[in-house]
Amino acid sequence: MNILIVDNNREFAEMTREYLQAQEGFHIAGMAGDGWSAYNMIVERQPDIVVLDVIMPHLDGLGLLEKMREEAVSPKPDVIVLSGIGRHEGIIQSVLRLGAADYMAKPIRMGVLAEKIRELAENRSSCRC
C-alpha cells in the first residue's frame, strides 16, 4: 500500500511516517503539510491511502476532499481523516459525505491506524470494481 501522509504538524507526520514505514506491506509515497501540496502529490503519485489532517494552512482537509471530488481524481485513494477537533458530529458527517473512508480523533494509536489501513487494503484487493 502506497500511503501519503498529510499533516502540517511535522512532528506528528514524521512519527506517523516512521511507524507506518516499519509495517510490512506499507510504503510511504510522500508527506505534505498543506492541502495544495497534497493534491499535487495525489495526482502525481497516485497513493492508495491518504492519511489526512483536517486543520491545515492554504487548503484544509475538507477543502482537499472537495477538490478531489470536483476534479474527479482517478484513481481515487481511500482517505482516513484525522482530527484534533475530536468526535465532532458535523465534521465526521462532512468528511464522510465528501468521500473519506474513515475518521479518527487525535490522539490516535498508531496500531489502530495501521489496522484501518490494512482493512482498506483488504477491501481494495477484494473489490472487482
CA dihedral 101, 14, 47, 29 (to 10 degrees): -170
Closest listed residue to residue 49, CA positions, set 10, 81, 23: 81
pLDDT top residue among 59 and 85: 59
Count of Cβ atoms closer than 10 Å to residue 12 Cβ: 17
* 79 CA to centre of own chain: 4
Amino acid identity of residue 53, one-letter, is D
Residue 86: pLDDT band with limits 50, 70, 90: low
- Whether the pLDDT of residue 106 is over 70: the answer is yes
Output the nine-digit C-alpha cell for 7. Answer: 499533516
Per-residue pLDDT, 110: 97
User: Can you name the residues that pair with 32 across neighbouring β-strands?
Assistant: 6
User: Whole-structure pTM over 0.85, yes or no?
Assistant: yes
Residue 84: pLDDT band with limits 50, 70, 90: confident
